[in-house]
Structure 1
Amino acid sequence: MDPVRNPYAPGAGSPPPALAGRTTILQDANVRLQRLRLGRSAKSLMLVGLRGVGKTVLLDQIRHDAESMGMQTVRIEAPEHRSLPALLAPALRLALLNLSKKEAAKDYAIRALRALAGFAGKLKVTYSDIEVGLDYDPEPGLADNGDLEGDLSTLLKQAGMAAKAAGTALIIFIDELQYVEEPQLAALISALHRCAQEKLPVTVIGAGLPQLRGRMGEAKSYAERLFDFPEIGPLSSTDATDAIVKPVRQEGVEIEDLAVKSIVEKTHGYPYFLQEWGKHTWDLAAKSPIRQSDVIEASDEAIAALDESFFRVRFDRLTPTEKKYLRAMAELGPGPHRSGDIADELGRTVQSLGPTRASLIGKGMVWSPTHGDTAFTVPLFDEFMKRIMPGDEWRSLGA
């Protein structure tokens, strides 16, 4: 098969050739955003799910849809060790400059830019990583108290007034939202609450790991009244089949039913893995139709590619103690697992492993579905841990 024509697109956030199984969530987001622009109530969305389920792809598609409807959007990613004000300030500046080009919104947008100047100037003492160009002098008393919660509320209020005057909505898209520290997350929720109370067309659509739901509830108890948290999971067998079949048929190629079934079973329907298996199967197949034997032969290459990219990039961030903890989890199976069972596997007490577990949660490697349970945030990571740390030598690691 011609590798140049390979239709599959494995990669972080890469849009697949067929966005299967996500129509309902996209339609729901579309309705919410149109209601927001009209000044009507609409809970915002926080897309939650494991790694590799396509949250980033969905987030970007919703943003694309919003822009096609004439809405003003901001897109940021929240990596570890960066403050939310530092990420928001330059992105909001660009959005406000765009709004200032509309005559009806010009004065409101300029006042919001003055608020941004006060916001950045005062908060730089606390958040030294803020770097943003300032187009107007700050207005004394406007978003310049040095208190993140109050100042961010004022800033987003001013931005919302500009968006309303322009007849549009300001949608802030934030990926990896689980990495935002709790006080900053609380400030963001509070600011959005104020905008909702004043019926201003400003909202956030976010994406994050499953622990995001709990973290937002801990940050502000009323978060559940502002947001819905649709869980983005693996595709159904039917949708996974579409994700594999439609791209090849668009290239004039056929694939046998048994080949498709084999890919779906090996990937458990996870979108990222479907793309990886599809890519390697296409490259290996000699001709159409693609056969089950092609899938079987390509599986070693697909697994190796996942090990060196999707899995390894996360494994390499771990300390020896953290690797040992995850290897013990893998010994118990896919999970979730009781903390006591993991401790027994390691010959340790639950209390002594608390800091390690907390560190792994902070790094986004595990999460707690229920109190006392621990689960991988990366699908099939238990199988990877067994491949990369085979046998029993891991038990003496760090001993």
Structure 2
Amino acid sequence: MDPVLNPFAPGAGSPPPELAGRNEVREAVRICIERLRRARAAKSVLLIGLRGVGKTVLLEQMRRDAEASGAHTVHFEAPENRSLPALLAPQLRLALMRLNRVEAAKDFAVRGLRALAGFASKLKLAYKDIEVGLDYAPEPGLADNGDLEADLGAFLEQVGRAAQAANTVLVIFIDELQYVEEAQLAALISALHRCAQQRMPVTVVGAGLPQLRGRMGEAKSYAERLFEFAEIGPLAIADAKLAITVPANEEGVDVEPDAVDLIVTETQGYPYFLQEWGKCAWDVAAASPITANDVKGASSEVIAALDESFFRVRFDRLTPAEKKYLRAMAELGPGPHRSGDIAQQLGRRVESFGPLRSSLILKGMIWSPTHGDTAFTVPLFDGFMKRIMPGDAWRTAS
């Protein structure tokens, strides 16, 4: 069939043609925004899930939903090598500049920009990566103590007052939130707490790997009371089928039920993999309908594509010792696995792997569902590890 018309969209953050199965969490964010607009209490929302479940896509869709409702939004990803103040400062400046165009909010927006000047200039010593344009002189005593937790709270409150005067809500969308350092997470949580106490219309909608829930609790014990944690997992079978059939049908192409069932089985309902299998099955099929044989013929191409992109980009960041540890996990199956069982595969005491496990957690490769358990953050990664490190040679590799 014509590849130009292929509706499926595998790719990092690429929006799927059919965003199936996510209406409940979208509605939760809508309710949060509308409650804040009316000065009512509402929890910020965090999307928690493995790689490939569509958190980034969902975050962007919710940002578009928020903008359509009249909310003001900022959106950024938190990489491993940037500080939260450096990411927040330029984005909140843009939000304040937009609010400054609203007549009723001008004075509050200007004071917010003065708070930004104090915030950035004092914290520049501690966070040297802060780069932001300053439009007004700082106001002495406003967000300029040089203490991140106190200053971020004061700064975010001023942004909230500008949003309140403009009769809108500021929604801060943050992806990969698990990479933010604990002290900076604590400051963000504390600032949101201050806004909640003052009934300021400011909220965060974030996304991160499963370890984010625990990290939030470690940063501030009251984090559970400020956030709604939405578990984003593989799609239910019915929704996974819709993710395949609806886009194809809209292009006048049918997918036989056996073909749909096979795709759902192969992908285990993970949205990213659904897009890869859908794309390749379309390209392999000679004509409508797409059959189970087409899906079978596409599977080797899909696995090769995943190995070279989705899986390989993560594998290449690992040290030899980290690769060996993950290969030992793969030998045991998809997981989760007891840390002692993994250590036994490697012939060493479990205590000796503490630093290695910590490094893999920081890199976002593994997480601990319960005490003593270890699981991959990337679905189907066990199969990839067996393909890229076949046989038993990995056991004796240095």
TM bin, normalised by shorter chain, reads over 0.9
CA positional deviation for 1:211: 0.4
Partner of 1:244: 244
CA positional deviation for 1:224: 0.5
Partner of 1:120: 120
Separation (CA, whole Å) in 1 of partners of 2:146 and 2:81 = 20
CA positional deviation for 1:230: 1.0
Partner of 1:342: 342
One-letter amino acid of the counterpart of residue 103, structure 2: E
Q: Deviations over 1:146-195 (max 9, x none)?
A: 00000000000000000000000100000000000000000000000000
Query: Structure 1 residue 159 and structure 2 residue 151: aligned?
Result: no
Gaps in structure 1 of 5+ consecutive residues: none
Partner of 2:145: 145
Partner of 1:23: 23
One-letter amino acid of the counterpart of residue 323, structure 1: K
Separation (CA, whole Å) in 2 of partners of 1:257 and 1:6 = 19
Secondary structure of the equivalent of 1:130?
Answer: coil
One-letter amino acid of the counterpart of residue 97, structure 1: M
Q: How does 1:365-380 map to 2 (within 5 A)?
A: 365-380=365-380
Query: Structure 1 residue 72 and structure 2 residue 72: aligned?
Result: yes
Partner of 2:225: 225
Q: Deviations over 1:12-58 (max 9, x none)?
A: 11110000111111112111111011110111110000000011111
Gaps in structure 2 of 5+ consecutive residues: none
CA positional deviation for 1:329: 0.2
Separation (CA, whole Å) in 1 of partners of 2:62 and 2:34 = 12
Separation (CA, whole Å) in 1 of partners of 2:21 and 2:72 = 27
Q: Spell out structure 1 runs of 4+ moving beyond 4 A.
A: none
Q: How does 1:78-227 map to 2 (within 5 A)?
A: 78-227=78-227
Secondary structure of the equivalent of 1:329?
Answer: helix
Secondary structure of the equivalent of 1:281?
Answer: helix
Separation (CA, whole Å) in 2 of partners of 1:390 and 1:14 = 32
Secondary structure of the equivalent of 1:230?
Answer: strand
One-letter amino acid of the counterpart of residue 68, structure 2: S
Taking structure 1 as the reference length, the TM-score comes to 0.99
CA positional deviation for 1:119: 0.5
Separation (CA, whole Å) in 2 of partners of 1:354 and 1:348 = 12
Query: Structure 1 residue 45 and structure 2 residue 45: aligned?
Result: yes
Query: Structure 1 residue 254 and structure 2 residue 266: aligned?
Result: no
Separation (CA, whole Å) in 2 of partners of 1:71 and 1:230 = 21
Partner of 1:277: 277
Q: Deviations over 1:189-217 (max 9, x none)?
A: 00000000000000111000000000000
Separation (CA, whole Å) in 2 of partners of 1:175 and 1:290 = 35
Partner of 1:318: 318
Partner of 1:305: 305
Residues 233, 270 of structure 1: 8 Å contact kept: yes
Partner of 2:35: 35
Alignment size in residue pairs: 398
Separation (CA, whole Å) in 1 of partners of 2:373 and 2:387 = 24
Q: Deviations over 1:302-340 (max 9, x none)?
A: 010011110000000000000000000000010001110
Residues 321, 397 of structure 1: 8 Å contact kept: no
Separation (CA, whole Å) in 2 of partners of 1:62 and 1:37 = 16
One-letter amino acid of the counterpart of residue 285, structure 2: A
One-letter amino acid of the counterpart of residue 220, structure 2: K
Q: Deviations over 1:72-119 (max 9, x none)?
A: 101010000210000000000100000000000000000000100110
Identity %: 73
One-letter amino acid of the counterpart of residue 141, structure 1: G
One-letter amino acid of the counterpart of residue 115, structure 1: A
Residues 170, 203 of structure 1: 8 Å contact kept: yes
Separation (CA, whole Å) in 1 of partners of 2:187 and 2:26 = 27
